[in-house]
Amino acid sequence: MLTPKSCRILAIAILTIIAAAILYTFRDYGVTWDEELQSRYGQAVADYYLSFFKDKTYLQIFNLYLYGGMFDGVAALLDSFTPFHIYETRHLLNAFFGLLGLWGTWKLGRFFGGEGVALCALIFCAATPSFYGHMFNNPKDIPYAAGIVWTLYHMSRAYVKPTWGTLVKLSIVYGLTLGVRVGGIMVYAFWLAPMGIVALLPFLKYRDFKAARASMKNVWNAFLRLALPVGLLSYAIMLFCWPWAQQHPILNPLRALHEFSDFPQDVEVLLDGTSYRSTDLPWSYVPIYFGIQLPELLLGLLAAFAVFSARIFRNFNTAQKQGMVLLLMTSGVPVLYTVLGHPALYDTVRHFLFIVPLASILTALGAREFYTYINERLGHPAKTVLAASAVAAGLIFLTSQAIAMARLHPYEYIYANSFAGGVHGAYGRYESDYWGSSFKEAAEDLDAYVSAHGGIPPGKIWKVAICGPWSSASIYLPPNFKPVIANEPAQFFISTTRWMCQNMRPGKEIIRVERMGAPLAIVKDLRDGYVYYDGNKDHRNEPPVLPP
């Protein structure tokens, strides 16, 4: 098996390869449904600071003032120094936040299980398409996920030795995380919970009230010396990142928390072929979507963690036990809340992406314990076979995931595993391109199609009706195309396949953006006598190929 040193070298190599892939592919990703608003909010946040807190345009951009401006504001400021379009700048920055999340997954994995577990956790997280695909254009959930995993790392380190250096790092990371989404405030309570558990252990074990009181006094002193300074500094950093919260530093964060606890977004969502309102979902929504979007191997090894959890926990030292309680609460309580509380949800489980790095660590621990359990019961020759089988299984997993992600690129986030019938089987039963980022490819193909067939007559403007995210298409259309509302007269029609939007208007299908048998965007020619175009050849007088 691999030595700790070789595991570390491999992990660094993987992170380097991913960084290179980011630089090579970040321009491939389209603008998402929310991104135009997010970009405007970021510029408004930047203007607020550049005007020395006078410009409050951020209040006029939908409800985005409820979110901290850490990522969006930085992206707007960074855009002044890059040669890219603002959306490309955002995608590049977003991807490097995702890379930070992967690095944090490796670091936290080392805390719990050493180099081998850390390497496996990194691989499992990076090979989860729903996480990797979101790395490029999800400005809320990926920076938040990266912040959560680093926050948990420093909180866990504080259980070992709460040096001032650790506490300052924790305060900065945690404050910036809250500067993305204030819901992360729950993690502070989760951090304190293991301290209380440790204090209560003497009473629970020996019914020793005197020892319990002494322990509680120590915990109270630790709270005053350590946790309280972290809380105050983190909160101050959060306020610095969040213009709206600065107006009422206590009330406005509480208002945002109340708003998010029952978010009033009422849209139609798909779950196993049935349409629901996002405000009236079954309890199984989040578990089912995790069940179809995580790779099968991860689900199996999560089950292995559950089976061997007592054994794993028994082998931890005190700080690791506290860190594991923190990790399990951070990943489990939000899901439990959705099961019991039925909040409004949509866009599958993108709001819960912070769970993927944490689940990857649990998966890696489950893999190690499962391997150790079998290895202890085998003779020497069989142990060699087991080791070779484990390496082969890992390579097969990596290869299959790499192939799937390459085939889906740049829409890795629509991945569905075999439990949903793959991406093709999931189409029409589960959400796929809810971001609308496939409009980039659809718009570019439409431009190529028109150019290949004579172009637009000089002085003419052709209208393109859009059913879906307006800016996701319009930004990629040349000036002689005019985007219009979906039901207005137009020469062409671009639609997402979400909510079966492509059926809104009749016309000849000329372009289809699809991956692994699932259509993501459709372009129709609303005029007579035009041809079906797939980017390679014309199909004159052939009927359009309709979605399965």
- The residue extents of the domains of the chain are 4-408, 439-539
pLDDT above 90 (res 542): no
The answer to whether the beta carbons of residues 359 and 299 sit under 8 Å apart is: no
Alpha-helix runs per DSSP H in 127-267: 129-134, 141-160, 164-178, 186-206, 209-222, 228-241, 243-247, 251-261
Lowest mean pLDDT among 117-121, 177-181, 391-395: 391-395
Q: Return the pLDDT at 221.
A: 73
Give the 3-state secondary structure of 316-381.
CCHHHHHHHHHHHHHHHHHHHHHHHHCCCCCCCCHHHCCHHHHHHHHHHHHHHHHHHHHHCCCCHH
The whole-model pTM stands at 0.93
* 293 pLDDT tier (thresholds 50, 70, 90): very high
pLDDT above 70 (res 33): yes
Which of 401, 385, 363 has the alpha carbon at shortest distance from 112?
Answer: 363
Per residue in 505-518, pLDDT tens? 999 999 999 999 99
Helix H or strand E segment including 509: strand 508-515
What is the sign of the dihedral through the CA atoms of 151, 98, 142 and 123?
negative
* 265 pLDDT tier (thresholds 50, 70, 90): confident
Q: Return the pLDDT at 206.
A: 64
Per residue in 367-411, pLDDT tens? 999 999 999 988 888 888 998 999 899 999 999 999 999 999 999
The answer to whether the beta carbons of residues 390 and 382 sit under 8 Å apart is: no
pLDDT above 70 (res 541): no
C-beta contacts of 483-487 below 8 A and 24+ residues apart: none
* 537 pLDDT tier (thresholds 50, 70, 90): very low
Q: Return the pLDDT at 226.
A: 85
Per residue in 122-134, pLDDT tens? 999 999 999 999 9
- DSSP-derived letter for residue 505 is S
pLDDT above 80 (res 526): yes
CA distances from 127 to 14, 154, 184, 292, 475 (A): 11, 25, 25, 15, 31
**Burial tier of 187 (Cβ tally within 10 Å: 0-12, 13-18, 19+):** buried
Residue burial 347-356, b: 16+ Cβ < 10 Å; e: rest: bbbbbbbbbb
> How far is 352 from 356, CA to CA, in rounded Å?
8
* Sheet containing 492-496, strands listed edge to edge, beginning at the edge strand earlier in sequence: 481-485, 462-467, 492-496, 518-525, 508-515
CA distances from 358 to 63, 96, 495, 501 (A): 29, 19, 36, 36
C-beta contacts of 333-336 below 8 A and 24+ residues apart: 333/186, 333/190, 334/186, 335/286, 335/287, 335/290
Residue partners of 433: CB distance under 8 A and separation at least 6: 411, 414, 496, 497, 498, 520, 521
DSSP result, 256-313: HHHHHHT-----EEEETTEEEETTS--TTHHHHHHHHHS-HHHHHHHHHHHHHHHHHH
Residue partners of 458: CB distance under 8 A and separation at least 6: none
pLDDT above 80 (res 490): yes
pLDDT above 90 (res 222): no
- The three-point CA angle 232-233-236 to 5° equals 90
Which of 148, 56, 134, 45 has the alpha carbon at shortest distance from 98?
Answer: 134
> How far is 361 from 125, CA to CA, in rounded Å?
8
* 538 pLDDT tier (thresholds 50, 70, 90): very low
217 vs 476: which has the higher pLDDT: 476
Per residue in 67-94, pLDDT tens? 999 999 999 999 999 999 999 999 999 9
> How far is 12 from 16, CA to CA, in rounded Å?
6
* 27 pLDDT tier (thresholds 50, 70, 90): very high
Q: Return the pLDDT at 412.
A: 97
Residue partners of 8: CB distance under 8 A and separation at least 6: 115, 119
Q: Return the pLDDT at 530.
A: 43
pLDDT above 90 (res 220): no
> How far is 384 from 379, CA to CA, in rounded Å?
9
Lowest mean pLDDT among 152-161, 202-211, 507-516: 202-211
